[in-house]
Chain A
Amino acid sequence: MQSLRVVCYLNQFFGQIGGEDKAGVGPRVFPGAVGAARAVQQALGDAGSVVATVVCGDNHIAEHPETALVKLLDLVAAEAPDLLVAGPAFLAGRYGVACAALCAAAQALLGVPAVTGMHAENPAVGLYRRRVYIVPTGADAARMLDEARRLVALGLKLARREPIGAPAAEGYFPRGITRNTVADANAAQRATAMLLDKLAGRRVASEVPLPDFPRIPAPPAVQDLRHATIALVTDGGLVPKGNPDGIEALAATRYGAYGIEGQRGLDPGQYDNVHRGYDTTFVKQDPHRLVPVDVAREMEREGAIGKLHETVYSTTGVATTLAHSERMGREIAAQLRAARVDAVILTST
């Protein structure tokens, strides 16, 4: 097989120019494998040759990203490489971002396959994993050669334009790509096999990772209901006629705060419902079927509860993302807290 031309990218430290004191040095190139690029050469063996090592100071590229990248791309392009290997950057944030940014640019602008590596907690992973193949590494260079081997293994496949398998199999951070494949058994057979494995105590991996819901400690019970302020909240899509806050019918990102001061109930003529997940005919006829203001007011008058809070909060709970749901919940809770509300009755459908 043809020996591949590989260019390595390193920062000032791994390129043996200096430490933090040299983090401001600009882009430069050295022939062959310099510094940590030697581990990449060792990992490549006969499969390829590190023809040049491109180096830049972490501060320089962080402070002048556009100009530094342009210059670095020129240096890389001049070598006509089959593969760019950047880093590994371990936990170094500026270095990780530089590696990933250069890989992304080399792929997009030069059409050069690229691979980098860093620790899962490097901020560059979150920023770039969808665009760049990033191999997970340890936190530091303790096992540089091992890390280089894993980068090179994936890099060679990329350079040879071989099909790249799933993240777990090939060893890179998931890129958010879903690929349909045809399995060799049908779903009933696969499910039965999984069940038999489970019953036999064999390791079973779910094909679909299930969301993990953190345990929410239950707030202590209301001690004195007769003096408590109770608020009503709903995700059933109640809105004032005209939906002034533009609450979405699906995948809501907004909620509304609607005053009921002085109102004994909810007048159906003043309200509407935008929820698309259930038949809203009945709650439109009588909004109390969703938000029990009438009953709560009576209980307030009777003294069964101290006070009905003057604001009803409402959003649409269909296909609402967990992230937005949690955010809206926190925001509403903060407002209720500030208003010294003691407890909430939330009607969901």
Chain B
Amino acid sequence: MTPVAVMVGANRIVSAAGIIHPLGNADLSAEDEKALRRRIVERALMALQTEVVRPTVFSADNPASAARGDQPPAP
């Protein structure tokens, strides 16, 4: 669903764990699920602390540090 968010113009987009459980995973134990949730929320907080100039997707493959590399250099 992240391409839709990009198209509509959301600026900070964090890819989550799936449509039916964005912040969880019923296949995992409760503990592992919470850890997963924590990681995604932490990624979201990183995104909030990152300057962006256009819709940017922060995913597991493209965490905040790599996303920062996409931005034009600070003036």
Interface residues of A (CB under 8 A from B): 213-216, 218-223, 225, 230, 236, 278-283, 285-286, 288-292, 294-296, 298-299, 304-305, 343, 345, 347-349
- Residues from chain A with a CB closer than 8 A to the CB of B19 are 278, 349
Q: A278-B19, A279-B20, A281-B20 are in contact. Are A213 and B9 (CB under 8 A)?
A: yes
Q: Give the shortest distance, in Å, between B42 (CB) and chain A (any CB).
A: 8
Q: What is the predominant secondary structure among interface residues of chain A facing chain B?
A: loop
Q: Give the shortest distance, in Å, between A234 (CB) and chain B (any CB).
A: 9
Q: How many residues of B are counted as interface, with CB atoms below 8 angstroms from the partner's CB atoms?
A: 31
Across the A-B interface, give the 10 residue pairs with the lowest CB-CB distance, nearest first.
A289-B24, A218-B11, A289-B21, A282-B21, A343-B48, A222-B48, A218-B52, A221-B51, A345-B44, A349-B19
Bound complex: CA A228 to CA B37 (Å): 20
Interface residue B49 (Cβ < 8 Å from any Cβ of A)? yes
Q: Are A225 and B24 in contact (CB under 8 A)?
A: no
Bound complex: CA A218 to CA B12 (Å): 8
Q: What is the predominant secondary structure among interface residues of chain B facing chain A?
A: loop
- Residues from chain B with a CB closer than 8 A to the CB of A219 are 11
Interface residues of B (CB under 8 A from A): 1, 5, 7-12, 16, 19-24, 26, 33-34, 37-38, 40-41, 44-45, 48-54
- Residues from chain B with a CB closer than 8 A to the CB of A282 are 20-21, 24, 26
Q: Give the shortest distance, in Å, between A260 (CB) and chain B (any CB).
A: 15
Partner of A295, one of B16, B37, B49: B37
Bound complex: CA A14 to CA B63 (Å): 67
- Residues from chain B with a CB closer than 8 A to the CB of A345 are 41, 44-45, 48
- Residues from chain A with a CB closer than 8 A to the CB of B16 are 347
- Residues from chain B with a CB closer than 8 A to the CB of A236 are 22
Bound complex: CA A285 to CA B20 (Å): 11
Q: Give the shortest distance, in Å, between A133 (CB) and chain B (any CB).
A: 35
Bound complex: CA A288 to CA B26 (Å): 12
Q: How many residue pairs at the A-B interface have CB separations less than 8 Å?
A: 91
Q: Which residue of A lies closest to B38 (CB)?
A: A295
- Residues from chain B with a CB closer than 8 A to the CB of A214 are 9
A-B contacts, 8 listed (Cβ < 8 Å): A213-B7, A222-B49, A225-B48, A278-B19, A292-B23, A345-B41, A345-B44, A348-B1
Bound complex: CA A281 to CA B16 (Å): 18
Q: Are B45 and A305 in contact (CB under 8 A)?
A: yes
Q: Are A225 and B20 in contact (CB under 8 A)?
A: no
9 more A-B contacts (CB under 8 A) besides A213-B7, A280-B20, A348-B1?
A218-B54, A221-B52, A282-B24, A289-B24, A289-B37, A291-B23, A305-B45, A345-B44, A349-B1
Partner of A221, one of B21, B24, B38, B50: B50
- Residues from chain B with a CB closer than 8 A to the CB of A348 are 1, 5, 22
Q: Are B48 and A290 in contact (CB under 8 A)?
A: no
Q: Are A290 and B49 in contact (CB under 8 A)?
A: no
Q: Are B23 and A347 in contact (CB under 8 A)?
A: yes
